[in-house]
Amino acid sequence: MAINISNVVVRTHEGAEKRLGEYNDQVLLIVNVASQCGFTKQYAGLQALQDTYGPRGLQVLGFPCNDFGNQEPGSLKEIQTFCSNTYGAKFPLFDKVHAMGQTSEPYSTLNRTEPAGDVAWNFEKFLVDKNGNVLARFKSGVEPESAELKTAIEQALKE
């Protein structure tokens, strides 16, 4: 069964509630991010994906997460400044979430995507179609520049 996130409500960096269905008609790449992780350099690749595919309808959404090795200890303002200054990342960052254990949205819903289970580490990626259906789940080691991820994004943008 396809997992749909259209009715999932998350908290923006300003603290407001936002229903992910507001992004319908866009392909989403949802990523749990951390500033002090071995994968942190993926911020640059995620921004490159946003720059390349954004005009065609892709939106990268970052959800800071401190669940894995306390690698995202800072405040949201500190995280935003670091990401922008260090990696040029300008895609939206939301309020901090829990992606494992006592999860918070969007991960309470996303973690039901096959293979179901908690996110395993920082920078796990979920690709969502224009109707809010989760298409694919990519582990942390799948780099934003990978052919596997780019091919999936391009296919989602065509549909």
Which residues form the catalytic set?
37
End-to-end CA distance of the chain: 19
> If you search the block for the tokens 């995620």, which residue do you land on?
46
- Beta strand pairing status for 125-128 and 58-64? unpaired
140 CB-near residues (< 8 Å, 6+ apart): 39, 120, 121, 122, 123, 124
Phi-psi region of 141 (alpha: psi -120 to 50; beta: other; left: phi over 0): alpha
Alpha helices in the chain (DSSP H): 42-53, 76-87, 107-110, 147-158
CB contact at 8 A, 93 and 13: yes
